[in-house]
């Protein structure tokens, strides 16, 4: 598509056309004036006018000659004849001039006809009469009669000539006026032309100045550019080489100009590719790199050393054809920095992995002795105790639970930071969840004189989401409120608002009448390890991980969390999350039963259990818990011994520790499952482990296990497992319906 004609070009063309037209009109008018002047300068009309006037004069002269002849005698007759001949000739000549000059008319023609007749008759008198003197009186009388006719012809000619002259004068005046108008138009046009030309000169001068400034600016820009700029023709001959290129490649500008690029800056192993590219450019005026953005390649210095450059190419039109403009930047330092960043990233990832491994190991190492403590306290609580002993056991159990919660918080924080926390959705009733939180935290609330109430107006729909994580958020918020409130009220509110079909926004708030949050800590309260009081005399303990975990879980669910508080006037923590609403046909999962406080219920059927555990304390605790529920327990101190017993005997269930000497629990499980002769090859195997990460549990399941019991193991978990195994055993022998 061609560019439209500039408006200035159209205006200039129209203006030039008008000037040329005015000039042509002026030339035409001048030609017509010249012709008219030539006509006026001709003697034809002057002769005709003079002849008409002279006709009357000649008649008067003839009359005077006759009068003198009558007075002076016959000597004057010759003069009379001579004057008559002149008069006669004048009439004929005037008649001819009048017809030739365009003055002929019917009236004038009739007058001349009479005049000819009269003059011919008088000629007979003058020429044929022998005695003219005797006829002078008659001749004079005839002339008197002829005088009016001559006067009429003379006057008519004068009037006609005057009228024609007046008409021609008016035509000439009109022509002169038109000529003056054209002259004025032409003068105006010429003036406008001068103005336009002057303006064009100014514009051209301004453009020239701008072009000069642009050239200076471009030249200075090229010289001041930190990037190397090389200009070459289509043959690869360098036309320009800026100072940055000279510094980068080690050649002087004068030394580089006129040299071929491939011999100067292209490394030997890239020259063949460069020549192919230049040939393609000469043939198609295009190339892979030209106009294609930045590309990284290698360049060569004057000493032959190679270095990485970032290259950008463009095409322009030069005086001798297309030229290539190359912009090159030395990226050696950037590549070094990128490599340093990659190294730092790898080190950071390694450190993060080391931290994760450390957290996992510490979690395992703390859960293992904690299992012994909690299990022992569980067993001790099931024995007859005095009130003081029972209080001591409850205090120790509470402390153990707090310690276990801290371990879980650290593990959750590590998983959230590593984006390894997976949400496991299920259908649940949120009202049951809140009631369970109220029931679990009731004892801690009573210990501080607090009352926990629920404000959840029904009906709340059943949701399909991760019940455990939502319960963890609500539990942490309520526990936090209990921690910073004494002798007060804690209210848990919940409501759901439908947003889109199948999705509702659940808004939960936990309000308390506690000490509140200082304004300067409102923005930092959800950060890791931030506590309201970090001093040695603080009144509320904690790691500062509960609220950050709440924030991360809520954000993972696509929601928001916040706090409204004023120091000394309580706090209101809230969160909003969009949750899928369960179908009407889906039933919520029942809430987990509360852990039993004391006592064991002996199962009516003995179940054979193999416990593979390398820690003696844990073996003792688990054995007594199982025996308390009517199980027959066999022990193995490591995986190798556990595999040997599973080969020889058939057990109803195997509890397998993971981290053990010689053969670990995962390898032991594989050996049992892959053994063709093992009596317990099909026996359910549950991991009895302090490894709590989901991906670890997934690897245990993949090895052939059916589930995991995470340490510390509680008595109610053992009871639930035994009850499940018992039901399966009875179902296999037909004692209960499956």
Among the ranges given (405-409, 498-502, 573-577), the one the predictor scored with the smallest mean pLDDT: 405-409
> Model confidence over 319-345: pLDDT tens digits?
667 788 888 888 888 888 888 888 888
The C-alpha atoms of residue 69 and residue 71 are separated, in whole angstroms, by 5
The C-alpha atoms of residue 536 and residue 13 are separated, in whole angstroms, by 94
The C-alpha atoms of residue 706 and residue 653 are separated, in whole angstroms, by 10
At 105, list the tokens.
């008319």
The C-alpha atoms of residue 33 and residue 167 are separated, in whole angstroms, by 15
What is the helix, strand, coil percentage profile of the chain, to 5? 60, 15, 25
Class of CATH domain 226-330: alpha beta
Q: What's the pLDDT score for residue 356?
A: 63
Q: What's the pLDDT score for residue 598?
A: 42
- Distant-in-sequence, close-in-space partners of 80: CB < 8 Å, separation ≥ 6: 62, 65, 66, 69, 126, 132, 136, 139
Predicted model pTM? 0.44
Q: What's the pLDDT score for residue 668?
A: 92
**Residue among 616, 596, 620 nearest 382 (CA):** 596
Q: How many residues does the chain have?
A: 738
Q: Does domain 607-733 have CATH number 3.40.50.300?
A: no
- Distant-in-sequence, close-in-space partners of 667: CB < 8 Å, separation ≥ 6: 639
Among the ranges given (185-199, 639-653, 663-677), the one the predictor scored with the smallest mean pLDDT: 185-199
3-state secondary structure 478-500: HHHHHHCCCCCEEEEEEEEEEEE
At 562, list the tokens.
């916040």
Q: What's the pLDDT score for residue 299?
A: 87
Which of the two residues, 6 and 646, has the higher pLDDT score? 646
Averaged pLDDT score across all residues of the chain: 77
pLDDT confidence tier of residue 284, bands split at 50, 70 and 90: confident
End-to-end CA distance of the chain, in Å?
82
Q: What's the whole-number mean pLDDT along residues 79-83?
A: 77
> Model confidence over 142-164: pLDDT tens digits?
777 777 877 777 777 677 777 77
At 3, list the tokens.
């560019």
Among the ranges given (43-47, 54-58, 528-532, 734-738), the one the predictor scored with the smallest mean pLDDT: 734-738
Q: What's the pLDDT score for residue 8?
A: 58
Q: What H or E segment, with its residue span, contains residue 240?
A: strand 238-241
> Model confidence over 34-45: pLDDT tens digits?
666 665 555 455
Q: What's the pLDDT score for residue 669?
A: 93
The C-alpha atoms of residue 73 and residue 148 are separated, in whole angstroms, by 28
Q: What's the whole-number mean pLDDT along residues 43-48?
A: 53
Which of the two residues, 85 and 551, has the higher pLDDT score? 551
The C-alpha atoms of residue 361 and residue 689 are separated, in whole angstroms, by 12
Q: What's the whole-number mean pLDDT along residues 603-619?
A: 82
Q: What's the pLDDT score for residue 342?
A: 86
117: helix, strand or coil: helix
Do residues 665 and 636 lie in contact, with contact meaning Cβ atoms separated by under 8 Å?
no
Angle, CA of 271, 276 and 279, to the nearest 5°: 125
At 27, list the tokens.
């030339």
- Is pLDDT of 55 > 70? yes
Q: Which of 164-178, 205-219, 241-255, 650-664 has the highest mean pLDDT?
A: 650-664
The C-alpha atoms of residue 586 and residue 579 are separated, in whole angstroms, by 15
Which of the two residues, 513 and 324, has the higher pLDDT score? 513
Among the ranges given (4-8, 232-236, 375-379), the one the predictor scored with the smallest mean pLDDT: 4-8
Q: What's the whole-number mean pLDDT along residues 504-531?
A: 80
CA 110 to chain centre: 103
Q: What's the pLDDT score for residue 490?
A: 92
Q: What's the pLDDT score for residue 590?
A: 57
Q: What's the pLDDT score for residue 370?
A: 65
> Model confidence over 443-467: pLDDT tens digits?
888 888 999 998 877 678 888 988 8
Q: Does domain 422-580 have CATH number 3.30.565.10?
A: yes
Which of the two residues, 223 and 621, has the higher pLDDT score? 621
Among the ranges given (192-196, 214-218, 559-563, 655-659), the one the predictor scored with the smallest mean pLDDT: 214-218
pLDDT confidence tier of residue 535, bands split at 50, 70 and 90: very low
Q: What's the pLDDT score for residue 98?
A: 66
Among the ranges given (261-265, 612-616, 620-624), the one the predictor scored with the smallest mean pLDDT: 261-265
pLDDT confidence tier of residue 735, bands split at 50, 70 and 90: very low
> Model confidence over 99-129: pLDDT tens digits?
665 556 676 667 777 777 777 777 777 776 5
Q: What's the pLDDT score for residue 338?
A: 85
- For 53-75, b/e burial (b = at least 16 CB within 10 A) is bbbbebbebbbebbeebeeeeee
Q: In terms of DSSP bridges, do strands 306-318 and 295-300 run parallel, antiparallel, or are they unpaired?
A: antiparallel
6: helix, strand or coil: coil
Do residues 175 and 32 lie in contact, with contact meaning Cβ atoms separated by under 8 Å?
yes
- Is pLDDT of 719 > 60? yes
> Model confidence over 423-439: pLDDT tens digits?
788 888 888 888 888 88
Which of the two residues, 349 and 357, has the higher pLDDT score? 349
Q: What's the whole-number mean pLDDT along residues 359-388?
A: 68
Q: What H or E segment, with its residue span, contains residue 307?
A: strand 306-318
Cα dist from 285 to 259, 289, 345, 467, 531, whole Å: 22, 12, 43, 66, 68
Q: What's the pLDDT score for residue 541?
A: 46
* Percent of the chain residues past pLDDT 90, beyond the cut: 10
């Amino acid at each position: 598509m061609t560019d439209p004609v500039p408006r200035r070009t159209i205006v200039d063309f129209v203006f030039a056309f008008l000037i040329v037209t005015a000039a042509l009109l002026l030339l035409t008018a001048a030609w017509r004036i010249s012709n008219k002047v030539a006509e006026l300068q001709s003697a034809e009309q002057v002769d005709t006018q003079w002849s008409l006037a002279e006709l009357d004069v000649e008649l008067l002269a003839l009359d005077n000659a006759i009068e003198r002849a009558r007075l002076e005698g016959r000597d004057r007759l010759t003069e009379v004849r001579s004057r008559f001949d002149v008069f006669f000739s004048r009439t004929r000549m005037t008649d001819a001039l009048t017809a030739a000059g365009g003055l002929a008319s019917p009236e004038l023609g009739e007058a001349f006809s009479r005049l000819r007749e009269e003059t011919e008759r008088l000629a007979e008198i003058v020429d044929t009469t022998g005695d003219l003197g005797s006829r002078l009186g008659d001749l004079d009388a005839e002339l008197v009669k002829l005088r009016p006719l001559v006067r009429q012809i003379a006057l008519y000619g004068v009037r006609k000539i005057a009228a024609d002259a007046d008409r021609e004068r008016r035509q000439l005046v009109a022509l002169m006026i038109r000529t003056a108008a054209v002259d004025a138009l032409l003068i105006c046009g010429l003036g406008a032309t001068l103005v336009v030309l002057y303006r064009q000169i100014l514009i051209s001068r301004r453009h020239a100045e701008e072009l000069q400034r642009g050239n200076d600016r471009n030249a200075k820009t090229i010289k001041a550019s930190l990037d190397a700029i090389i200009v070459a023709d289509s043959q690869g001959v360098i036309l320009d080489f800026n100072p940055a290129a000279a510094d980068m490649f080690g050649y002087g500008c004068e030394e580089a100009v006129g040299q071929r690029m491939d011999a100067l800056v292209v490394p030997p192993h890239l020259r063949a590719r460069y020549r192919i590219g230049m040939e393609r450019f000469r043939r198609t005026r295009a190339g892979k790199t030209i106009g294609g953005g930045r590309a990284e390649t290698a360049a060569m210095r004057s000493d032959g050393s190679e270095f990485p450059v970032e290259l950008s190419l463009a095409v322009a039109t030069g005086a001798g054809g297309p030229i290539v403009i190359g912009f090159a930047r030395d990226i050696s330092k950037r590549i070094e920095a990128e490599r340093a960043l990659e190294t730092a990233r790898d080190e950071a990832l390694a450190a993060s992995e080391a931290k994760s491994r450390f957290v996992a190991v510490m979690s395992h190492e703390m859960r293992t002795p904690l299992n012994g403590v909690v299990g022992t306290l569980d067993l001790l609580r099931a024995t007859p105790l005095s009130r003081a002993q029972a209080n001591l056991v409850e205090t120790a159990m509470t402390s153990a639970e707090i310690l276990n919660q801290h371990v879980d918080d650290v593990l959750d924080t590590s998983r959230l930071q590593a984006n390894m926390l997976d949400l496991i959705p299920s259908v649940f009733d949120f009202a049951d969840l809140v009631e369970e939180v109220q029931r679990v935290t009731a004892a801690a609330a009573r210990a501080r004189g607090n009352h926990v109430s629920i404000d959840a107006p029904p009906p709340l729909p059943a949701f399909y989401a991760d019940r455990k994580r939502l319960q963890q958020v609500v539990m942490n918020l309520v526990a936090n409120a209990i921690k910073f409130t004494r002798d007060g009220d804690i209210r848990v509110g919940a409501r759901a608002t439908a947003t889109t079909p199948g999705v509702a926004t659940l808004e939960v708030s936990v309000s308390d009448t506690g000490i509140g949050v200082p304004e300067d800590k409102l923005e930092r309260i959800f950060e890791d390890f931030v506590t309201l009081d970090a001093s040695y005399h603080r009144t509320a303990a904690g790691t500062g991980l509960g609220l950050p975990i709440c924030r991360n879980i809520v954000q993972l669910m696509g929601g928001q969390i916040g706090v409204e508080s004023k120091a000394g006037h309580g706090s209101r923590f809230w969160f909003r999350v969009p949750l899928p609403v369960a179908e009407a046909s889906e039933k919520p999962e029942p809430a987990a039963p509360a852990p039993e406080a004391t006592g064991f219920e002996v199962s009516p059927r003995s179940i054979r259990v193999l416990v593979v555990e390398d820690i003696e304390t844990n073996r003792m605790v688990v054995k007594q818990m199982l025996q308390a529920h009517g199980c027959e327990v066999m022990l193995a101190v490591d995986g190798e011994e556990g595999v040997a017993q599973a080969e020889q005997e058939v057990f109803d269930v195997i509890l397998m520790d993971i981290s053990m000497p010689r053969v670990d629990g995962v390898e032991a499980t594989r050996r049992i499952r892959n053994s063709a002769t093992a009596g317990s090859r099909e026996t359910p195997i549950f991991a009895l482990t302090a490894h709590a990460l989901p991906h670890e549990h997934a690897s245990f399941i993949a090895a052939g296990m059916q589930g995991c019991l995470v340490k510390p193991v509680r008595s109610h978990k053992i009871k639930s497992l035994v009850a499940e195994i018992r039901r399966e055993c009875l179902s296999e022998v037909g004692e209960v319906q499956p």
